[in-house]
């Protein structure tokens, strides 16, 4: 096995976006005279996007007439406050630098729309460094469909079997496996109580970003340039 490209999910994997998304949801709740929710309650559902956040906060079904206006308001507030409290997960900045020094490229495959993904990555100086950025509206298909993963491979110049995809949701692992990639679960991400990543049949579990290097080395990757 020789990995040439590392692909990351965005929310809950590359960046800890939960603080700003939680603040946006609580702002919408307060605008509608609802009590704000505890941060940890919101954090668990962040990887599932705006629909899941509105369902959590307002207990509404998507078919409700008021649902879509609330979701749009959430996204507007979030867009205006993309990186107030968002940060790379501890160790992620160092990991990206180490991958680049070792000659591996990296990219992002997310279901987040491009109008949120790209300015967020740009705020952290990551947009221009990424070999590929595939957002939720780049193609007609989204994860867990393999098309976004395969598109990322093409942009990064790697074959699927030369890529490893890291994410914190079952659909991330399904998407990577559907595309014939190696897959790893970011255990430092966002999980619901009912989630059991050990059952997702990923190729490995990462307690921290730096664990990727150990996984690569344990699976025969030569990383002398990291020493």
Residue among 9, 16, 20, 211 flagged as catalytic: 9
The answer to whether residue 140 is catalytic is: no
Tokens of 90: 């501890």
* CA gap 119, 67 in Å, rounded: 26
Q: What does DSSP say about strands 132-134 and 163-167: parallel, antiparallel, or unpaired?
A: unpaired
C-beta of residue 216 within 8 angstroms of C-beta of residue 104: no
| Per-residue CA distances from 51 to 2, 9, 112, 131, 149 (Å) | 38, 18, 12, 29, 23
Q: Which residues contact 194 (CB under 8 A, 6 or more apart)?
A: none
Q: Catalytic residue among 11, 16, 168, 211, which?
A: 11
User: Is 80 labeled as catalytic in the residue annotation?
Assistant: no
Burial class (CB in 10 A: 0-12, 13-18, 19+), 103: exposed
Tokens representing residue 151 in the block: 């598109």
Which residue numbers are catalytic?
9, 11
């Amino acid at each position: 096995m020789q990995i040439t490209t590392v692909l990351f999910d965005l929310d809950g994997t590359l960046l800890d976006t939960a603080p700003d998304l939680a603040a946006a949801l609580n702002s919408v709740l307060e605008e509608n005279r609802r009590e704000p929710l505890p941060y940890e309650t919101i954090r668990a559902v962040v990887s599932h996007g705006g629909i899941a956040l509105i369902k959590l906060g307002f207990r509404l079904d998507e078919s409700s007439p008021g649902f879509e206006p609330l979701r749009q308001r959430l996204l507007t507030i979030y867009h205006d406050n993309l990186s107030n409290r968002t940060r790379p997960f501890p160790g992620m900045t160092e990991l990206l630098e180490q991958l680049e020094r070792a000659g591996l490229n990296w990219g992002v495959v997310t279901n987040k729309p491009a109008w949120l993904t790209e300015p967020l990555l740009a705020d952290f100086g990551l947009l221009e460094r990424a070999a590929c950025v595939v957002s939720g509206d780049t193609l007609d298909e989204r994860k867990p469909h393999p098309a976004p993963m395969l598109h990322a491979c093409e942009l990064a110049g790697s074959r699927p079997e030369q890529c490893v995809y890291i994410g914190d949701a079952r659909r991330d692992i399904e998407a990577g496996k559907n595309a014939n990639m190696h897959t790893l679960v970011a255990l430092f991400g966002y999980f619901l109580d009912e989630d059991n990543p050990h059952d997702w049949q990923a190729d490995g579990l990462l307690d921290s970003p730096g664990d990727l290097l150990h996984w690569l080395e344990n699976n025969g990757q030569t990383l002398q340039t990291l020493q």
